[in-house]
Structure 1
């Protein structure tokens, strides 16, 4: 009979040590996965926040430019509104042009270059 070691199944102490090693390894791997996921999520959130800030800066710059243009043109004559021939049977290209002009009017109105009354009159003139 050997003096050191056992033959056969490991004893209770060996089984507990093996279990502790497996559990520790699993915990370390899980922790690493969580850390990588958290870092990836934070990076994505920072990227999204940066992009949103860039978009907001562009909107603010456009609004400031529109306000400056509106205040600069307040004393000047308003730009003439393009005339669109009104007919009951408009061809598709004329309808597209009319839609484009209405969109331009809406953009000017939303930018503050046209008042509500000016917008309504220009729209009625186009649709009239």
Structure 2
């Protein structure tokens, strides 16, 4: 058979088409598999995050409420009144120090 130059013959074209088709199928299958794996991972991450939120909500619901903090303005007003009494001469330095320590430690 004589050697052909130029375009491939019928068998060459069929072989090339089969190779291209097989490659495209393999690539498509791999892309679909990877997309499925990523979607599965996203769903697992979402479920884990939802479980974490539920656990945190249960922990917060189970925790006793914090006792209300003593208002800072109450201490400030008591200290101001104490300083006024000392300035008026009603309290001595020792009495002022004792009452100040009592207010700050309460």
TM-score range, shorter chain: 0.5 to 0.7
**Equivalent residue number for residue 33 of structure 1:** 31
Matches within 5 A, 1:36-115: 36-66=34-64
| Structure number with bigger Rg | 2
What's the CA shift string for 1:55-110, capped at 9, x where partnerless?
Answer: 101101211224xx6xxxxxxxxx7xx7xxxxxxxxxxxxxxxxxxxxxxxxxxxx
The two structures, once aligned, show a CA RMSD in angstroms of 2.7
**Equivalent residue number for residue 4 of structure 2:** 7
TM-score (norm 2): 0.54
Give the number of aligned pairs: 73
Runs of 4+ in 1 over 4 A off after TM superposition: none
Deviation at 1:39, TM superposition (A): 0.8
Higher relative contact order (CA 8 A, sep 6+): 1
TM-score (norm 1): 0.45
Residue 23 (structure 1) aligned with residue 3 (structure 2): no
